[in-house]
Structure 1
């Protein structure tokens, strides 16, 4: 019973890992990492810009157009992106890939436990590798959060193309709603990795090779 209790702990860890991975995907795709307030731009009078890791969206509240929100996606050929955003892009992609790989290894380990295919070294290594990948993924997300927060504190500007109608630096800026979501994603990833530390095969469940009698 103790073995399956530990396995159930790993199942809970898998759920946390999946939730953290989904939130990481959401944070990567949305733009609300930095909120720029543009109040003194000569023309056109954009009201707000949301700067993300892969796109920037502008919002003009008094626009006469049917779509007051305009979004521009980044590409790898965009040279105007600052170094910190380029690094953060790769860190988030790495966190997504590591989280996905960690989930796969955890599923393989749980399958061995619940089907009775217990091999101490193999099963333990699967959970160990999953733990390491989850912790690394969570750490990478925290690095992105810290980098984004530092850019906002330093009031860094971005030289967007003129067609975006976004000034190099806004009148004021603040952290966007993706920051607490990213912190939650990183925390879930780290918690998922820490939970797998508790998994150890009990001596009664270890598989020993059969010794033939001479």
Structure 2
């Protein structure tokens, strides 16, 4: 029964980790971390821009449901990126790697538990390490969300290249919908790390030979 409780705990951790890891990857690729409303810009009037962690996309006015006019991806050599985006990029990338490693450790622990007899110390080490990785990943995503939040409320500007046709500061800006996906990813990662239950290795039955029983 104790072994079953441990397996159930690890299965829940794995499910939470998988969802959090997938949501982290998706949120990294989506552009709508910040929504910029450009209402008084010179021609061409783009009207709306979605500023993400790895790209920025511009949209036509009254065409929000259509495809973007243009998307521009960032590179590490782009000097115009502010510190908050650079920090969030590294935090999200690290969170995705830590989440993946945490998932691998949980899978390894489950697989070994079902196929071999593990020492109790080894099992606890894998279990504990995976929890630490998941909690750290969730904390990194949370910090990235906070960096984006403070940039929005402070109405920070970004000096995009002139070829982007996006002004360095919008008329107004707000949090984008991708932020809520990143918050969900952080919560799932933190729950995956904090979720635990007490378990004990089942007592090993002594090996008694048939001759001794007779």
Asked if Structure 1 and Structure 2 have the same fold, meaning a TM-score greater than 0.5 normalized by the shorter chain, the answer is yes
1:30–1:178 CA contact under 8 A, matched in 2: yes
Point out the more displaced range, 158-167 or 104-113: 104-113
Point out the more displaced range, 96-105 or 108-117: 108-117
Which residue of structure 1 lines up, in the alignment, with residue 165 of structure 2? 165
Structure 2 Cα separation of the partners of residues 11 and 67 of structure 1: 40
Which residue of structure 2 lines up, in the alignment, with residue 204 of structure 1? 203
Structure 2 Cα separation of the partners of residues 205 and 157 of structure 1: 64
Q: Compute the TM-score of the two structures, normalised by the length of structure 1.
A: 0.90
Which residue of structure 2 lines up, in the alignment, with residue 135 of structure 1? 135
Query: What is the number of residues matched between the two proteins?
Result: 204
2:2–2:199 CA contact under 8 A, matched in 1: no
Structure 1: give runs of 5+ residues left out of the alignment.
207-214
2:45–2:61 CA contact under 8 A, matched in 1: no
Q: Does 1:102 align with 2:93?
A: no
Structure 2 Cα separation of the partners of residues 200 and 74 of structure 1: 47
| CA shift digits 1:142-196 (9 cap, x unpaired) | 000111000000000000000001101000000000111101000000000111x
1:118–1:205 CA contact under 8 A, matched in 2: no
Structure 1 Cα separation of the partners of residues 197 and 17 of structure 2: 16
Which residue of structure 2 lines up, in the alignment, with residue 90 of structure 1? 90
Structure 2: give runs of 5+ residues left out of the alignment.
206-214
1:21–1:100 CA contact under 8 A, matched in 2: yes
Which residue of structure 1 lines up, in the alignment, with residue 208 of structure 2? none
Q: Report how far residue 116 of structure 1 moved.
A: 4.1
Q: Report how far residue 113 of structure 1 moved.
A: 1.7
Q: Report how far residue 202 of structure 1 moved.
A: 3.3
Q: Compute the TM-score of the two structures, normalised by the length of structure 2.
A: 0.90
Q: Report how far residue 203 of structure 1 moved.
A: 5.8
Partner SS state of residue 117, structure 1: coil
| CA shift digits 1:194-214 (9 cap, x unpaired) | 11x3253336259xxxxxxxx
Which residue of structure 2 lines up, in the alignment, with residue 30 of structure 1? 30
Q: Within 5 Å, give how 1:1-214 maps onto structure 2.
A: 1-61=1-61, 68-195=68-195, 197-202=196-201, 204=203
1:80–1:159 CA contact under 8 A, matched in 2: yes
